[in-house]
Amino acid sequence: MFDGLKEKLGRFQEDVEEEAEAADSEAADDAESAEPTESAESTASTDAAAADESDESEDEEDDVGLAKKAALAATGKTIITESELEEPLEQLELELLQGDVEMSVAREITDRIRERLVGDTRKQVESGEQVVQRAIADALREVIGVGQFDFEGRIAEAEKPIVMVFTGVNGVGKTTSIAKMARWLEERGYSSVLANGDTYRAGANEQIEEHAEVLGKKIITHEQGGDPAAVIYDAVEYAEANGVDVVLGDTAGRLHTSNDLMAQLEKIDRVVDPDMTLFVDEAVAGQDATNRAEEFNDAAEIDGAILTKADADSQGGAAISIAHVTGKPILFLGTGQGYEDLERFDPDVIVDRLLDEA
């Protein structure tokens, strides 16, 4: 995952470094040719002050930027100017959009990188790669880390049973994600019961029953066409009576435009009052996943998202975008077909992957 974005970020780093190195070289030449009438530090101070005061025109700003670079070069330092970043940032924004990153998110990332880099004074012994990579890392963490919370800590501290309801469109892996979550919880010492609130899809009972049998989990089901809220309510009663820690409730796949199905979600909220509502979609859906997450959050507020098929997504645009667009965190990534293939989404780990040998 993220191979495409890693490549794009790597190109951006190279572009910025090339622009900065060219400007540094020009500044160094100017510094060498300057009259040594004052000490280097005095010259740097005077030129830097002049640079700060000159804002009359764009041309003058460019000249001042070069003068300030020359002055800083004389003291062993350098600075990144906005003109050096303009073209690389425009190219990065375009490539992020091509990588399925939502437009407002791509703009937010480039704006944050610009804020961190423009006017950043550094010692020349610190490489441009270090400076640019640090700015990218900080910007990405802020964008993709929106709303993150201690998922396991919340489970540990909450009154039992905890009720989790899973929502999303048809065919994105909700039921399989529920089975994976049951295994994830079991590995951490929590018991669970499955509830099939998808009472409309033919074969839904059979699918979740197969998972329950393999995992050794109790399942609560009703006849096809029954009331989904009643199914999950019965599962909550079972959990309370039998000391089960977590209720995992499946729901019918739906579009935000399916008024009847969205009304079902509202009824589940009223009857069951779930502790968490988790939105499930495919990472490979890209912009569609981002749009659907926003629409589901508007129609029936979600607490977080699970992205399936993350192992098949070379771009990672949905993972970068969903948290920022909805204000709700990505909590897990589905990374394979096995029950163990559910990975906690950690923004720090994701950023490290994106920038590792980028």
Q: Does one domain contain both 197 and 287?
A: yes
The pLDDT, as a whole number, for residue 251 is 87
Q: Which of 93, 117, 144 is the last residue of a domain?
A: 144
120 or 297, greater pLDDT: 297
CATH for 70: 1.20.120.140
For 292, the token pair is 């659907």
Which region among 71-80, 272-281, 286-295 has the lowest average model confidence (pLDDT)?
Answer: 71-80
Q: Are 173 and 309 in contact (CB under 8 A)?
A: yes
The 10s digit of each residue's pLDDT in 81-135 is: 777 778 888 888 888 888 778 888 889 988 988 888 876 555 443 445 567 778 8
Pick from 111, 144, 177: which residue ends a domain? 144
Residue 352, domain member (yes or no)? no
- How many angstroms separate the CA atoms of 311 and 305, rounded? 16
**252 is in which domain, residue-wise?**
151-346
% of the chain beyond a pLDDT of 90: 30
CATH number of 193's domain: 3.40.50.300
Helix ranges, the chain (H): 3-33, 40-53, 58-74, 82-98, 103-117, 128-144, 151-157, 174-187, 204-215, 228-242, 259-272, 287-299, 317-326, 347-355
63 and 184, same domain (yes or no): no
The rounded distance, in Å, linking the Cα atoms of 198 and 257 is 18
| 198 vs 344, more confident | 344
Contact 181, 248 (CB under 8 A): yes
> Per-residue pLDDT for 198 more than 50?
yes
Name the domain count of the chain: 2
